[in-house]
Structure 1
């Protein structure tokens, strides 16, 4: 699916963005310590090699100056829903993480700066997720370096989970971000491009505090009664 957007800014600048989305990989729930671990391990290793290793930037052209800095905003890098606001793996609903980004740019003379970005999303379905479909939302923003946001646009990212699947990998391609320049003296170093999920204040705080856990989505955890060592009194 292709999306084309444009921003109206000050008299000196307008920014336009076009994006495409492609679902590239889906994965079912883990199988604990049962048979097939070797096969699952091999598949995971192959997946990690294909998707999780740092990727080289997109091909760079000979530019009049440096490219804008492109990064994921840490507070919005993950999306984690919790049932009844209880922060535990057993209470997780739909989840998501921007795993990696790659970018490239091109400009010369006083021409506009054109940027292309590829972002890899890992999207999950936890034990408390309702249904097999979810529409995630993320945004792309252009800012003056370490200053105010010049333009920001939101994208919907619909995902369907097949029976037994708890994770889907999706690659989003921002085909072109165009930043006009007032003159040839304005370089890409004056700007930065940020990506992030559309998160609630609670989700942002969860990310900011660096909290993490592993979600065994699709598996029902059953609490086992603990037995106190001999001679240890139990609480009534």
Structure 2
């Protein structure tokens, strides 16, 4: 947020000094013209040749910082393992949350509206016989480094169309109430993760992993 405020301040400063800079670039004949829109001889000025250099800002700054948005490490990946054995030949459907971009808006005592774009990378291993899969993930709002305030689950239906991998963007908007005008978005943390089993969470926590391409047919080596 400090960076956003600094950027807005820089735009304001630039806008305030723009007339001076423009005047310094005028030719001597242009500087002789009056500020009332007339030439030195009293005739009207010619129409302006160039549009203003700065467009108006689209919206005002927020009242404070946005909530922190993170992917929970234990639930960042989804890996089905047939028989619970960690081997490529046992891999079914897989998934990974590759990244999240987020923005928020609130002013005065308004609630916080948070918009998110979540990128999922999904895959089919040797044990995944179907061509489609409905994954499940959740979004939780917590007090920063504290208790969970709310948690909601969402379905993510994916059709692979005969391919081994798929990329899916999910756009989500949530509203976070504020206790008062002094409560900023910095008091909240938003966590995202797959709905995983305890075994999947432990597999992720151990640092073990299979990429979404795990179990896919490997290209054959050209014969010499």
Q: Deviations over 1:164-210 (max 9, x none)?
A: x1000000001x21112121111111111110000000000111111
Q: Which has the higher strand share?
A: 1
Contiguous gaps of at least 5 residues in structure 2: 1-57, 220-224
Task: Give the drift of 1:216.
Answer: 4.4
Question: TM-score of the superposition, structure 1-length normalised?
Answer: 0.65
Whether the 8 Å contact between 1:60 and 1:106 is mirrored in structure 2 is no
Segments of structure 1 that go 5 or more residues without pairing to the other structure are: 1-58, 222-236
Aligned pairs (5 A) from 1:136-151: 136-151=135-150
Counterpart of 2:174 in structure 1 is 177
Equivalent in the alignment of 1:52:
none
* Cα 1:151–1:61 shift into 2, 3 Å: farther
Indicate the SS of the match to 2:204: helix
Contact 2:79 2:210 in 1 (8 A): no
Q: Which has the higher helix share?
A: 2
Distance 1:60 1:150, change over 3 A: farther
Normalising by structure 2, report the TM-score: 0.68
Give the CA RMSD over aligned residues: 2.0
- The answer to whether the Cα contact below 8 Å between 2:124 and 2:214 also exists between their aligned partners in 1 is no
Matched pairs, number: 162
Q: Bigger radius of gyration, 1 or 2?
A: 2
Match of 2:89 in 1: 90
Structure 2 Cα separation of the partners of residues 80 and 172 of structure 1: 20
Q: Which runs of 4+ in 1 moved over 4 A?
A: none
**2:62 and 2:106 in contact (8 A); partners too:** yes
TM-superposed CA distance for 1:220, in Å, is: 7.5
2:158 paired with 1:159: yes
